[in-house]
């Protein structure tokens, strides 16, 4: 009889724990996690696991990470993570060459090389596989293709139940000696995306004075500060529209041009998923971030819900730090789908191996080298 071993995981660049929350729900045992952001690690520790530390990936050696996790090289099932993606974003000018954070992809490659997990999982913005990130994606392939079968896919998070149109590039590597055939998870919501109205249904209104909602089941639920003139501006905007609906007297000079971002001063529509949630979600001058019914931006709690975090998932830090944690997070529902697809691939191989050699555990052989 085959004894199923734990599906172990180390998280790199864990942030506030969006990917970790999903991987944990899919069945992974999180051995260790790290991030350079102290407040994000505090959030991670308070919601997912205390086995996390503040580390600089540029200085962290693979053997130190293995020691923290209590395992040896080639024993880990999954090394996951999303190196900071702002340098590859469409909103970042000169991103492919001008942002030092892009080089952390190289550090991630070295961690994979030093740990040699059965699988690795990397998540980044959709432009990572296009012009802005292609050089780094090619570098990842060159550095790891001798050991891993590498699978790359652009994913729309809305296809997996996330109430948000958020496109991401996902890279999954499978160690070649395993003989595992990996397939990305089949979309579950292609024709029935979860809408803003469905996601925010039943969420109580936050206090008008900007204080936290008194119900502890809704942490980080407070109204962002907005100027009176911006409150007047957003009052004219219907659901699904933006700056073009403003009266001329309230338009800024940039609004009167035909070019520019049409979603600024925008209001979400209840019958569609939200736009991509960024770190600027509490300011509708930066995008379509106004509440569908109320003349205010969405709160941090509402943004987290639109990222598919549980209602009571609490974020730590000041308001700006919380905004960035939420905006940078991997939606947990996407993490769960990806984690399940990896576990399913391993279990299928274990089942096949059991039919050949019933007394031998496939995972025992795999991590034994």
181-186, long-range: CB < 8 A, 24+ apart: 181/345, 181/348, 182/119, 182/149, 182/151, 182/341, 182/342, 182/345, 183/341, 183/345, 184/151, 184/153, 184/155, 184/338, 184/341, 185/160, 185/337, 185/338, 185/340, 185/341
Query: What is the tally of structural domains in the chain?
Result: 1
Using a pLDDT cut of 90, give the percent of the chain over it: 75
Catalytic residue among 85, 157, 222, 245: 85
pLDDT on residue 96: 47
* Structure token digits, residue 364: 């025992």
Task: Please check whether residue 356 lies inside any domain of the structure.
Answer: yes
Q: What is the CATH number of the domain that holds 32?
A: 3.40.50.150
Give per-residue pLDDT as tens, 98-156: 545 567 888 999 999 999 999 999 999 877 766 666 788 888 999 999 999 999 999 99
Q: Residue 364: pLDDT above 90?
A: no
Full residue range of the structural domain in which residue 356 is found: 8-186+331-367
Domain-embedded: residue 159: yes
Q: What's the predicted TM-score (pTM) here?
A: 0.92
The answer to whether residue 276 is domain-embedded is no
* Distance (Å, whole) CA 77 – CA 62: 15
- Residue 126, domain member (yes or no): yes
pLDDT tens string 288-300: 999 999 999 999 9
pLDDT at 1: 37
Is 85 in the active site? yes
- Three-state DSSP at 291 gives coil
Q: Using alpha carbons, select from 94, 178, 102, 101 the residue that is nearest to residue 138.
A: 102
* 282 within some domain: no
**And the tokens for 269?**
């529509």
pLDDT at 83: 85
Strands (E), the chain: 8-12, 29-35, 52-54, 78-81, 119-125, 148-156, 167-175
Check residue 120 and give its pLDDT: 98
């Amino acid at each position: 009889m085959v004894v199923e071993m734990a599906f172990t995981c180390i998280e790199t660049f864990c942030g506030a724990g969006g990917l970790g929350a999903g991987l944990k729900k899919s069945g992974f045992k999180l051995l260790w996690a790290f991030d350079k952001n102290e407040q994000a690690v505090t959030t991670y520790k308070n919601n997912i696991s205390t086995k996390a530390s503040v580390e600089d990936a540029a200085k962290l050696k693979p053997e130190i990470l293995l020691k923290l996790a209590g395992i040896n090289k080639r024993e880990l099932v999954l090394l996951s993570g999303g190196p900071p993606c702002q340098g590859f974003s469409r909103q970042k000018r000169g991103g492919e060459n001008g942002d030092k954070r892009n080089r952390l992809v190289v550090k991630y490659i070295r961690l994979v090389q030093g740990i040699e997990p059965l699988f690795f999982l990397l998540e980044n913005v959709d432009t990572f596989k296009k012009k802005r990130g292609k050089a780094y994606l090619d570098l990842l392939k060159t550095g790891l293709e001798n050991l891993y079968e590498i699978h790359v896919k652009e994913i729309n998070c809305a296809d997996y139940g996330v109430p948000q149109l958020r496109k991401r590039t996902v890279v999954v590597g499978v160690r070649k000696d395993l003989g595992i055939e990996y397939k990305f998870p089949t979309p579950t919501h292609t024709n029935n995306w979860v809408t803003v109205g469905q996601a925010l249904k039943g969420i109580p209104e936050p206090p008008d004075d900007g204080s936290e909602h008194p119900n502890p089941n809704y942490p980080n639920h407070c109204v962002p500060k907005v100027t009176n003139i911006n409150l007047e501006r957003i009052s004219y905007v219907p659901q699904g529209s933006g700056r073009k609906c403003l009266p001329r007297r309230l338009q800024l000079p940039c609004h009167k041009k035909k070019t520019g971002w049409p979603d600024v001063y925008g209001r979400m529509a209840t019958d569609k998923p939200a736009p991509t949630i960024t770190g600027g979600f509490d300011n509708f001058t930066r995008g379509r971030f106004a509440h569908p019914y109320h003349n205010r931006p969405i709160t941090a709690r509402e943004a987290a819900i639109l990222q598919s975090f549980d209602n009571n998932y609490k974020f730590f830090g000041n308001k700006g730090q919380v905004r960035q944690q939420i905006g940078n997070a991997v939606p947990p529902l996407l993490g769960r789908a990806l984690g399940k697809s990896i576990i399913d691939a391993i279990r299928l191989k274990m089942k096949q191996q059991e039919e050949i050699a019933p007394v031998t555990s496939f995972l025992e052989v795999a991590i034994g080298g």
